[in-house]
Structure 1
Amino acid sequence: MKEEIQKWFKNFQERLCQSLEECDGIAKFQEDVWDRPGGGGGAARVIQNGAVFEKGGVNFSAVEGVLHERAAKALLMPDPHFFATGVSVVIHPENPHVPITHMNVRYFEAGNGEAWFGGGIDLTPIYVYEDQGKFFHQQLKDTCDRFQASYYPEFKQWADDYFYIPHREETRGIGGIFFDRLTPKENISLEDRFAFVQAVADTFAPTYTQIVNFNRDKPYSPQEKEWQLIRRGRYAEFNLVNDRGTKFGLETNGRTESILMSLPPLASWHYSHAPAVGTPEAKSLACFTKGIDWVNLHTAHG
């Protein structure tokens, strides 16, 4: 299936870039096509200094070759030959009231014939608006529920656990869904898994752009901008220290510029910083924890 999957992912990159350009209204994506020395390549698309998006990337890749022994061991692969394709997205808005977002969909095929999908969508607000958190998670749940009732609770928990910064004891944002190594099993074929991944991908643009439009015109102060830079610092910490995708890309001689596209253009680190009790910053920080039932938030948390 790899040719069909690769073709769909490339088309998805095209469609997503169009949606994000329309949402921004000014900036356009610039494309940088690259080749991987070990086999394959990709196209990095970057948007910068727009009406909404300060920096963002929508990257497509389709690479193949032989994994380094350490990487093959980490992926539990008896055969180091591989093929991998996918689309990865990170958006850093200018306005601190517009959340950072990340999504990716990917397909991996090992030399011994094993194949699986992975991916997910998560949201990293600087300022948390509970109704928007509920909307975001409801959209993801609706997509998951079209396929398996178990998907949303399982993948939501997986996102809570994955997008966690242990050295800060906080989550990167309000989570979303995350899944990996979705292989065929029982009555679920690889084609079924692919249909689910396609649906997740197509959920991203309408959901995120609606959240952007909720917030894009809100005024903000220098203090709110500084809080954004501090939270961007947390984002960078996770991506450099904890993110498996970053590590995999660097260990497999991926394109460094594309891999580190996820980092914000500006970020801040303040020594022993803690927001004052009762401030919007403190209230948002309290939401960066595991286990919040966003779909039923008003029922569960009043």
Structure 2
Amino acid sequence: MTKEQIADQFKALQDTITQTIESTDGNARFKEDIWQREGGGGGRSRVIAKAQIIEKGGVNFSAVHGSLPDKIKTKLKVKSDEFFATGVSLIMHPENPHVPIVHMNIRYFELKDGTYWFGGGIDLTPIYIDKKEAADFHQALKLVCDKYHPEFYQKFKTWADDYFYLSHRDETRGIGGIFFDHLNESEGLTKDELFSFVIEIGQLFAPLYAAIMKKKANSPYSEQEKDWQLHRRGRYVEFNLLQDKGTRFGIDTNGRAESILVSMPPEVKWTYQYEIKANSPEANTISQLKKGTNWLQYL
């Protein structure tokens, strides 16, 4: 499996995802920007806005190459100067507070000396936690993980709990999912098998999230529930700007800022000492944003 073949399949995955979101949402269409990176390579950024279900969403594909900045070489503990990186990343911010925010990305990184690895993840950020929905989401991820390695799900689920964690708030971003990085043949799988795992995680997104969209899009909601959604989006922004490694990597490699920051929600609120009433649905959400929850128990 060459880097060009991997990039081609990632690009095809972007097509599948955007087509599924469009058909599920209704009559809205993604706007596409094709861009070139000054240092080498480029990509396609696709954004949907003010649709029937998705208030703002982005599905990006990139395949970039060039010289690795010294600070990235030091951070990654590598010596090779030339790199190639390709991937698909997405974010969906729904209009309805009962439809969860979702994030997914899969990526491949290769150095001129032959060093390579895969990374990625998918996680769900509900504004109001639906335990059955969370269980179904985790079960779907586990089924894919179990096909490739008996330890993948629990290992990557724990990794997601730790990664998608706002340490300054002492809460997880949502109900998690899986997260993995630096996957290579040290996992006991061949490169082709690892790619098969990664692309299958990517292919899982569209049917999984489309089902949630269809189920929850017409749920009635109040002004209070919308207000709570806007405040929870604030936590999403905090994580992406303060802690997300992908955002930092994109900026440090002179990536396209518009594409990197497409993950930002269209509208958000921060209220000083925002009051959450005891025993409210909002308090119930906060109480469940903890590491280590076994969501599968709610199947």
TM-score (norm 2): 0.98
Q: CA deviation at 1:56?
A: 0.3
User: For residue 27 of structure 1, what is the aligned residue in structure 2?
Assistant: 28
What are structure 2's unaligned runs of at least 5 residues? none
User: For residue 127 of structure 1, what is the aligned residue in structure 2?
Assistant: 128
Distance 2:124 2:242 in 1: 19
What amino acid sits opposite 1:71 in the alignment? I
Q: Percent identity?
A: 52
What is the aligned residue count?
A: 298
User: For residue 78 of structure 2, what is the aligned residue in structure 1?
Assistant: 77
CA deviations on 1:262-286 (whole Å, 9 max, x unpaired) are: 0000100011224111111111111
Distance 2:99 2:155 in 1: 27
User: For residue 152 of structure 1, what is the aligned residue in structure 2?
Assistant: 153
Task: State the secondary structure of the residue aligned to 1:47.
Answer: strand
User: For residue 168 of structure 1, what is the aligned residue in structure 2?
Assistant: 169
User: For residue 40 of structure 1, what is the aligned residue in structure 2?
Assistant: 41
Q: CA deviation at 1:186?
A: 6.5
User: For residue 57 of structure 1, what is the aligned residue in structure 2?
Assistant: 58
What amino acid sits opposite 2:146 in the alignment? D
Task: State the secondary structure of the residue aligned to 1:217.
Answer: coil
Matched, 1:217 2:204: no
User: For residue 193 of structure 1, what is the aligned residue in structure 2?
Assistant: 194
What amino acid sits opposite 1:227 in the alignment? W
Q: CA deviation at 1:112?
A: 1.8
Distance 1:141 1:187 in 2: 19
Q: CA deviation at 1:185?
A: 2.5
What amino acid sits opposite 1:2 in the alignment? K
Task: State the secondary structure of the residue aligned to 1:296.
Answer: helix
TM-score (norm 1): 0.97
Task: State the secondary structure of the residue aligned to 2:295.
Answer: coil
User: For residue 103 of structure 1, what is the aligned residue in structure 2?
Assistant: 104
User: For residue 291 of structure 1, what is the aligned residue in structure 2?
Assistant: 292
Q: CA deviation at 1:212?
A: 1.5
Distance 1:153 1:186 in 2: 15
Q: CA deviation at 1:141?
A: 0.5
User: For residue 94 of structure 2, what is the aligned residue in structure 1?
Assistant: 93
Task: State the secondary structure of the residue aligned to 1:62.
Answer: strand
Q: CA deviation at 1:80?
A: 2.5
Matched, 1:8 2:1: no
Q: CA RMSD in A?
A: 1.0
Distance 1:74 1:42 in 2: 25
User: For residue 271 of structure 2, what is the aligned residue in structure 1?
Assistant: 270
Matched, 1:249 2:250: yes
Q: CA deviation at 1:111?
A: 2.2
Q: CA deviation at 1:113?
A: 1.0
Structure 1 range deviating more: 229-238 or 66-75: 66-75
Task: State the secondary structure of the residue aligned to 2:148.
Answer: coil
Distance 1:185 1:129 in 2: 37
What amino acid sits opposite 1:291 in the alignment? G
TM superposition outliers: structure 1 runs of 4+ over 4 Å: none
Distance 1:267 1:143 in 2: 34
Distance 2:237 2:182 in 1: 25
